[in-house]
């Protein structure tokens, strides 16, 4: 079972990859745009922190601690919450932070899903 440090690192790497890809895409569309290192580090840290949320909501007090917040259903809710049509009305900064936080949370679910204990549907 991945521990908090492992979940943080996986989430941070996922957030960094998403943000770097977004910024490179932005720079491809607007050649005068520069890579924003502040945005990159904020997104990396936010995604890493969000990767810790499932275990904060359902602490690992036993090997069977995984319930709703570690489920496929919760993963679907998080994915919709950060990508649904409603997010188009959000300011860009909020949408970006919500997106990388969602990526971090989902990275935790994926990391737990590939362990022998796996995750539940609900």
Q: Tens digit of pLDDT for each residue in 35-59? A: 999 999 999 999 999 999 999 999 9
Taking only the tens place, the pLDDT of each residue in 81-104 is: 999 899 999 999 999 999 999 999
Rounded to whole angstroms, the Cα distance separating 83 from 38 reads: 23
Domain residue spans in the chain?
4-113
pTM of the model: 0.92
Candidates 88, 89, 84, 96; CA nearest to 41 is 96
Candidates 12, 19, 2; CA nearest to 65 is 2
The chain-wide mean pLDDT, for the chain, equals 94
Are the C-beta atoms of residues 70 and 121 closer than 8 Å to each other?
no
% of the chain beyond a pLDDT of 70: 99
For 73, residues 6+ apart whose C-beta sits below 8 A from its C-beta are 121, 122
């Amino acid at each position: 079972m991945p521990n908090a440090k492992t979940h943080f690192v996986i989430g941070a790497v996922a957030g960094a990859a998403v943000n770097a890809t977004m910024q490179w895409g932005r720079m491809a569309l607007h050649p005068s745009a520069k890579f924003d290192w502040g945005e990159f580090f904020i997104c990396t840290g936010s995604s890493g922190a969000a990767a810790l949320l499932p275990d904060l909501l359902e602490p690992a007090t036993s090997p069977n601690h995984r319930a709703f917040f570690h489920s496929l259903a919760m993963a679907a809710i998080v994915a919709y919450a950060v990508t649904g049509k409603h997010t188009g009305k959000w300011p860009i900064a909020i949408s970006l932070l919500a997106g990388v936080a969602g990526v971090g949370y989902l990275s935790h679910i994926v990391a737990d899903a590939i362990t022998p204990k796996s995750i539940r549907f609900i």
